[in-house]
Structure formats: C-alpha cells, structure tokens
A and B are shown apart, each in its own frame.
Chain A
Amino acid sequence: MSSEARPFFAPVPKASGWRLFLKTVVARAYPRVIGQQRERSWLFFDVFLSILAVSAYVFVYRAIGAPEEYVGFVVVGGAMTAFWLNVLWSMSSQLYWEKESGNLALYIMAPNSMMAILLGMAVGGIVATALRAAAILLVGSLLFHVQYAVGSLPALAAVFLLTLAALYGLGMMSASLFLLWGREAWHLANLAQEPIYLLSGFYFPVKNLGFWVAVAASIIPLTLGLDAMRQLLFPSGAALGFLTVPVEVAVLAVLCVLFLVAARWLLGYMERMAIREGRLLESRR
C-alpha cells in the first residue's frame, strides 16, 4: 500500500441525540450571524429606513399634541418591526429558498433533526436581528429624547424573550407552510405585511383598535408582546395597555407552545409529503 493509500482520516465518534441537536442549532445559526458581519448594507436599509418610518409617526404625534410617551411607543414598535420582517421574509420563506439552493435535501438526508435546523435559523435570526433592533432603538431614543421608566428589568427581559419565542415559533410554523404552498404563501405574506403593521399596533397602542380587533390581532405574538413591553417601559403604559401584563404573558406562553407544536407537526408532514410525492425537494432552476 502506498503512502497515499493510507486512510485519509481515522473514524471518530460522532455526536448523537441532544448533542447532535445542539450542534445543528449552532451550525445553522452561524450563517445568519456571520452573514450580518459580511454584508454591512443592512446598516442603511434596516436602520436608516426604519428610523424614517418611525420619524413620520413621531412628527405626526408631536404635531397633534399626543402624550410624549407615544414617541417612545413608536420607537419601541419600530425596533420590534425588525423582528417581524425577519420572521416574515427570512424565517418563513427560508425552507423555500433552501429547497431552491439544494440545501433542503441535504438537511433531510442528514442524521440531524429538522427541528434543530429550523431552531438554528430562528436563533441565528434572533441574534442577527437583535443587533438591528438595538440599533433602531438606540438611534430612535437618542434622536427623539425618549424617556424610559423600567420598573422591573427581569420582567421586561422575560416578556421580550417570550415574545421572541412565540414570534419565531410562528416563523418556524410558517416555514413549512411556505414550502407547501409555494408562491401562494409568498403572495399572502406580501398581502399581510402592511395590515399586520396596523393590527399589531407597531406605532400606536393596540387598545385603540377596539377590543375584538385587538383580540383577533393577538394571534400575532408581537401584538401582545409589544403591548406588555410598553406597559413595563413607560409610566402611562399600563393605562394605555390592552390587557394586564400577566394575562398577556399567559397568552404569549400559550401561543409559544401552540406554534412550536404546530411547527413540529407541519415539519413532519412536509417531510413525509416530500418523500412520498418527490415534488417538494425539486428545485425550479
């Protein structure tokens, strides 16, 4: 046997079970986190353009003499918009793009769990978007002199994380739906973007929409998440809030579980259908 005929490498034990799950989450999150550092154009598009939208509302509120807290509501809403856009366009549509690039077949064929892949996308999306949201919050707060009165930082952090968990749960669920419905889902998402800006109360207290509209809008986790965060961030937040914070937290927790269970079921359904019909893994290129 020649020297080149020696084995390229010796076999090593590979991770399995929860260790493989965690490795997959980290690995799939990596492109999203690192991608942000390599493409800096987001600084302009995601921060500057968001600040422009926020500014429009701030100027309107100041022109009509609305309470100064409304400016803070708008800035916080503008920051959270980044997460909504990330879920709508990067999370929900991701499996569709993975299919087009050929990655989806490799993900299914690998021994890892597809839930770990989706969770990795979500974690990567949260980390990457948190930076954008923080930038919007910082610039908006400095620009418009927003005053915050945080009563309980742990409560605020818990509500924020729960909101993200429920929101990205929705994104994980939508990812399979986008793949199953293809372009129709794309059009639906396009159609839903602006109405959801309105219904979720990104730029005003959702209470103003009326009880039943606000209840319907609560299916989008950002509606209650934003409302609860505003209640915890501003002195008059509680008075302008839709429901009490504990109720909103409870609903968010239910939504979170509901979306994650649905995501897991839909993912399994998508995989079974892909294997049975052979259609879902076909790239159109």
Chain B
Amino acid sequence: MAYAEAVAEGIWAAGVARVGYIPSVTVAPVINALVASDGGANGVSPRVTPLSREEEAIGVMGAVAFTGRLGAVVMQDNGFGNALTALTTFTLSYHLPLLVFANTRGGLGEYNSMIHSISQPVPALLRAVGLPVVELDRRSGAEDWRDTVQEAGVQAVMTYRPVVVLGSFWNTDGKVA
C-alpha cells in the first residue's frame, strides 16, 4: 500500500462523510486515491470535491458536523495561515469535529526558499490555539499512517473539535514538492 492510499483509506475508515480539498502536488495522490475509491474521476466524486481556499474549506466541511457526521479537509500546511480564524472562531468555538490531513513543506526535501517561513511554525501555531496535532513521517510505515489518520478522525468525533494530521512525505514513496 502506498502512503497516499493509506491516508485515503484512513479518512474513509474514520467514517468521513465528505471531503473537501485544496490541491498540492504532494496531496494529489491522496486526492486521486480518495476520488478513485469513491467512484469518481478527474478530482471529483460524490463525496470528494475541490474547494478554492483553506478558510472556506473549514467552513464548508466543518458544517457537516451539524448533521451528526464528519467532514474532512485535505490540504497543504502552508494554508493554515488562511484557515486559522475559521478553525478557531468556528470549528473550535462551536465544538465541531473535523478531520484535517495536511502534507508538510519547508523541511527535508524542500526546494522552495521561503515556504518554511509558514510551514515550519505550523505545528506550534496550531498547538498554541488549542488544536490537537499528530505528526507522521518516514519513520512509520503506510499501515501506521492509515491507522493514525483513522484514529485522528475518531478522536475528532470523540472530543468535538478539529484534529490535524501533518504528514511529511520525505523518504516515503510520495513526493515532497
């Protein structure tokens, strides 16, 4: 099982009803796996849809929780700057479960000279506002990634708040950037 497929499997296994994504080259294989497993093609399926910005993704997918189900967002970590107000004043404040999977940038394997300026402090930023963060990297296998993503979704539901999984694809079978 590829790491991207593992993330997709973990998202569905968590009981996610709907996924919104903001694309990056790193999460594209995750999105493709989600779409393929949901019977879609070309980035769209019945339960998987593109969204234009991280902030609105938190609004659209966070709202799923009002109907007693779980939404998920797949994105890249440099988008958390866009999403922070929505994550705090909407999902956190209204106690709405939400699963967020984001690939990391700015670390090992990075080519871009400035993206670390936002990506490096992301885990601390998220923890500073009270968001649970789980970090994955090359040190665990694809099965562990799948189980971790699944359990993060379960934890989001149990604790009525967003849970963020950050995945570094460096030295896995995935592409960093």
**A and B together in one complex:** no
A-side interface residues toward B, CB under 8 Å? none
B-side interface residues toward A, CB under 8 Å? none
